[in-house]
Amino acid sequence: MHIGPDGDESIERAVRDGGGEPAALDDADALVWLDWRRDRFPALPSSVRWVQLPSAGVETWMPAIDRDGPLFTSAGGVYAVPVAEHALGLLLAGVRGLATYARATSWVERDDRTLEGSTVAIVGAGGIGRALIGMLAPHDVDVIAVTRRGRPVAGAARTLAADGLADVWSQADHFVVAAPATGATRHLVGAEQLRAMPDHGWIVNVARGSLIDTDALVAALQAGEIGGAALDVTDPEPLPDGHPLWTAPNALITPHVANPPGAMMRHLAERVRENVRRFAAGEDLLAPIDPDAGY
């Protein structure tokens, strides 16, 4: 099993703990790839049957994935807890007015809402969404979970299939976007969806910037159509200096830091260890990438 492009002590230990042994790429039957950039990805020898990627979002990797080639697995679900924690922080900061108060230079009180008693829709209730549901439980909120097929999600008051998403925008107070980025989900949230949201509603995006139409969002914020937006991801990204989202009083931007680097390798090592064990035992691997679905 090869670890590339550079070795990492915690990943090497995880490979050995899972029953594997680090090896040169030409001698390996699997590759654990630790670089988020696809341009450094090597040509694979025919012996490689499995590739573990470091990222949960894999839209940039899809051109490299062939159904007839080795199995690719993502880090889907690996970073769920830290990202969900960040989403909760953004949601609370928005709903409780912290984004506005942090910019204030004088003592101005507002009549802000509370998260308690509200309805929160999680669009894309996968690993991150499920972790967030547990974190929302003490806040006495009703959760609407939106998943691809609409199978019940533990802790959610209701679960909707993706084809029923059009109805959710008028049924919740606040929204957390955690869906995968594919061709089908580009601009999942546009002018129509924003208009359907309540005027006090906050939308949080911890997935990919392309899921929200940025121009439509800026227009909705400027018109006061929604309460605000809290974004850890943007389109374009990085968000350019001088962009209107930086100065919008009802917007809160963090620079794609929901998954802090300090915890990243620790969480990834846990996934590598388990998938190496499964690979050695001939079991199904966690988070296989479906080339047709795009994630």
Confirm whether 243 is a catalytic residue: no
Catalytic residue (choose from 16, 256, 267, 277): 256
Overall size of the chain counted in residues: 295
d(CA 149, CA 203): 23
Q: What is the rounded CA–CA span in Å between residue 97 and residue 94?
A: 5
261 prior amide bond cis, ω within 30: no
59, 85, 237, 274: the catalytic one is 237
DSSP state at residue 180: -
Chain centre to alpha carbon of residue 245: 20
| 256 tagged catalytic | yes
103 is catalytic: no
Task: Give the residue from 201, 46, 61, 200 showing the smallest Cα distance to 123.
Answer: 201
From 86, 113, 130, 208, the catalytic residue: 208
Between the CA of residue 72 and those of 49, 55, 64, 181, 275, what are the distances in Å? 9, 11, 10, 17, 11
Measured at the CA of 85, the angle between CA 34 and CA 285, to 5 degrees, comes to: 40
Annotated active-site positions, please?
A: 208, 237, 256
